Amino acid sequence: MAIGDTSSLISSKIHISVKNLNFFYGKTQTLFNVNLDFHRNKITAIMGHSGSGKSTLLRILNRIYELYPEHHATGEVIFEGKNILDKRYDVEKLRTRIGMVFQKPTPFPMSIYNNIAFALKNNQKLSNFSMNKRVRKSLGQATLWKEVKEDLKRSGTALSGGQQQRLCIARTLAMQPDILLLDEPTSALDPISTEKVETVILELAKTYTVILVTHNLRQAERVADFVVFMKEGEIKEASEKKEFFNNPQRKSTQTFLKYF
C-alpha cells in the first residue's frame, strides 16, 4: 500500500501512523525512534510508568507540544497520506480532526452551552438550530445531557469534577473529529465518574479511533483493543490486548505486568 494511495487509505485499517519519531526537550531527548500504527475505530491504550513518554507521544499527535518553544520533534506522523508534523500543515485544521481530552477537567469560563459552541462557532457556520442540535448531540454522547439539559446557561465551572470532564469530552466530540486522544481522562475522577467515562469511551470506539494514555492496568484491560507499553521513551511492546496481557514478549513488559 503506497502512502499516496488515498483510496486504500480510507478503508485501510491504520488511521494514523508514527514513523521514526524522536522528541527533544531542549537538549534532552525524551522519545527514541518511535514507530507505531494506530488502528481505525479501535481503542489503543498506551501504558507505562511516569516519565515513560506516553503523554509526550500523545501530545505530538495534535502538535500541542508546539505551545512550548523548547520542545521539538523529528520524524513523521502520517495522517491521510500527509505528514502532520510538516510546518506547512494547517495545524488549526488538524486539531479539529484530532481532538484531545486532558487529565484535569478544564471547563472554559463560559456557560455549558458556550463551552461547546465556542470552538464550533470558529470552525463552522451553523444556524442556531443546527448548533443547538450539535450541542445536544455531543452532550448526549458524553452522557451529560440528562444532567444539564435544564440549565445550559449555567457556568461550566459550576459542575462537579466528573461532570466537568464529561463536558470536556462533549466539547471535543462536538467538533466531530476523526481521532480522539485521551490523556489519563479518569485519573482525577472518583470511581463512579470513572465508570461513567469508561462507558462513554467504549461507546465512542464505534465511531472514532481512540488513543488512550492510562497508567491504570485494569482500565486498559477493560476498555482497550490494542495495548502499547512504553519505557524510557521507547516502545517496548505493542500488540492486541489478549496477546499483551497473556503472552508479553519483553522482559520489561513482564515486570510491568507484575503490578497487575
Partner 1 sequence: MSMFDDKKRMRRHTLNTIFTVICYISVAIGVAVLASTMYTLFSKGIMAINLSLFIENLPPLGADGGLKNAILGSLIITVSAVVISAPIGILIATNLTEFPTKGKLGSAVRFVNDILLSAPSIIIGLFVYSIVVRALGHFSALAGIIALALIAIPMIVRTSEDVMKIIPSNLREAAVSLGVPRWKVTVFVIYKTAKAGLITGVILAMARVAGETAPLLFTVLNNQFPNYNILTPMANLPVVMFQYAMSPYENSQQLAWAAAFLITMAILFTNILTRFFFSRSRNK
Q: Which residues bind partner 1 (CB under 8 A)?
A: 62, 64, 67-70, 92-96, 99-100, 102-104, 106, 108-110, 118-119, 122-123, 168, 171-172, 175
Which residue type, as a one-letter code, is found at position 110?
A: M
Task: Give min distance, CB of 108 to partner 1, in A.
Answer: 5
Q: Which of 64, 139 has the CB closer to partner 1?
A: 64
Smallest CA-to-CA distance from 227 within 207, 247, 203, 206 is with 247
C-alpha distances in Å from residue 40, one per residue of 45, 72, 80, 131, 140:
13, 27, 12, 28, 23
Strands 209-213 and 179-183: parallel
Q: Which is nearer to partner 1, 101 or 227 (CB)?
A: 101
Q: Residue 255 CB, nearest distance to partner 1 (Å)? A: 31
Given the complex with partner 1, which of 96 and 141 has the nearer CB atom? 96
Which CB, 115 or 219, lies closer to partner 1?
Answer: 115
Minimum gap (Å) between residue 79 Cβ and partner 1:
14
End-to-end CA distance of the chain: 38
Go through the chain and tell me how many residues it has. 260
Which residue, 66 or 232, has its beta carbon nearer to partner 1? 66
Question: How far is the C-alpha of 63 from the C-alpha of 25, rounded, in Å?
Answer: 14
Q: How far is the CB of 88 from partner 1 (least distance, A)?
A: 17
C-beta of 163: minimal distance to partner 1 in Å? 16
133 CB neighbour count, 10 Å cutoff: 12
Give the pairing of strands 14-25 and 98-101.
unpaired
- Residue with smaller CB distance to partner 1, 152 or 235: 152
Least distance CB 62 / partner 1 (angstroms): 5
Do residues 47 and 217 lie in contact, with contact meaning Cβ atoms separated by under 8 Å?
Answer: yes
Q: Based on CB atoms, which residue is closest to partner 1, 47 or 175?
A: 175
Query: 122 vs 207, which CB is nearer to partner 1?
Result: 122
**CA distance linking residue 12 with residue 10, whole number of Å:** 6
DSSP annotation of 65 reads: G
In angstroms, the CA 96 to CA 218 distance is 30
* Least distance in angstroms from the C-beta of 69 to partner 1: 4
Which residue has 486504500 as its cell numbers?
Answer: 8
Q: How far is the CB of 235 from partner 1 (least distance, A)?
A: 23
Distance CA 139, CA 143 (A): 6
Pairwise CA distance, residues 243 & 220, whole Å: 13
